[in-house]
Amino acid sequence: MDRTAGQKRAAAAFLYPPLDPFDQRVLDVGDGHRIYVEQCGARDGLPVVVLHGGPGGGCSPAMRRYFDPTVYRIILFDQRGCGRSRPHASVEANTTWHLVADIELIRESLGIPRWIVFGGSWGATLALLYAQAHPDRVAHLVLRGVFLMTRAELDWFYGGGAGRFWPDLWARFVSLIPEDERHDLIGAYHRRLFSGDTVEETRHARAWAAWENALAAIEHEGPVGEAPGDYARAFARLENHYFTHAGFLHRDDQIIADLPRIAEIPGTIVQGRYDMICPPAAAWHLAQNWPRADLKLVGMAGHALSEPGITAELVRSMNLLRHKGPALGI
């Protein structure tokens, strides 16, 4: 979720030129869900699948531009319930394990034996869980803004930790909730995001999205503008749904506990040192327990994909992988 126009211009200096998909399709993944999938770049290139954040954020044309289009076969898709996938904003049959299965179905439907998996924030969470479920299908992981879906991380962002740095914005976020419910903001917002009243849902969805949007970039210039109602409602409902259920993980430290499953997979971790949404402690913890991970802490950078330092490091990392297809087994 990108911030200011100035940041976008600065980040764009590192990106490849805009490009259009050579393939767009809607994939029926079952349970009444149809997900949007696109392919860009080189038809026979090194395959890389891009996992967007949120949950519920959707992919964007800018995400195509982190990869050399003469080398990479770039696959983007909107996860269940968001972006161009349908039904919009639906949380029915929408769990982490449904998404992991969807990624594998996309790979199979495109005839790709192995691929690079590229994901940021929630996309990094999903990338790790997918790799742990299907380690033989992942050649390399490229992660940004690591989120391990632990209670400590949720408490940081929705329990007042980040609010100590942004008390004015925190006050705005909690103001919609009665004081006697503020001990559990995820639960309080859940009741309102799923009230059945579209006006109430959209109002609270915009507040939910605004809190996250405002903290994503290091160059904060005050509250961001309101997100479009349809986008905010899908984003907030899906994200809150996943957080209410602790990401549908079996245990709080599941990703770290299951790292032996991906011990042989190389990984690149790009992390903003001043990330207020996903503090760098999680990326550090991940790297310390994953022997083949290379952690790159980016100074003067926050969480957003559009942060110039983050963009530059991600593009550089993907450029370094351009000629490693044989070594990666793809």
Residue 190 bears catalytic tag: no
Helices 122-133, 96-109: axis angle to 10 degrees equals 70
Query: Which residue out of 33, 134, 190, 275 is catalytically annotated?
Result: 275
- The DSSP letter of residue 329 is T
H or E stretch covering 219: none
CA angle 5, 193, 161 (to 5 degrees): 65
**Which pair of tokens denotes residue 304?**
């957003």
CB 115 within 8 A of CB 105: no
Cα dihedral value 171, 172, 175, 179, nearest 10 = -20
CB 216 within 8 A of CB 277: yes
Quote the CA–CA distance of 87 and 105 in Å, as a whole number: 18
H or E stretch covering 161: none
Q: For the chain, what percentages of helix, strand and coil (3-state, to nearest 5) are there?
A: 45, 15, 40
Query: Which residue out of 140, 303, 306, 317 is catalytically annotated?
Result: 303
Pairing of strands 138-144, 267-272: parallel
Residue 195 bears catalytic tag: no
Query: Which residue out of 121, 140, 190, 306 is catalytically annotated?
Result: 121
Residue 85 bears catalytic tag: no
CA 309 to chain centre: 18
Active-site positions read 121, 275, 303
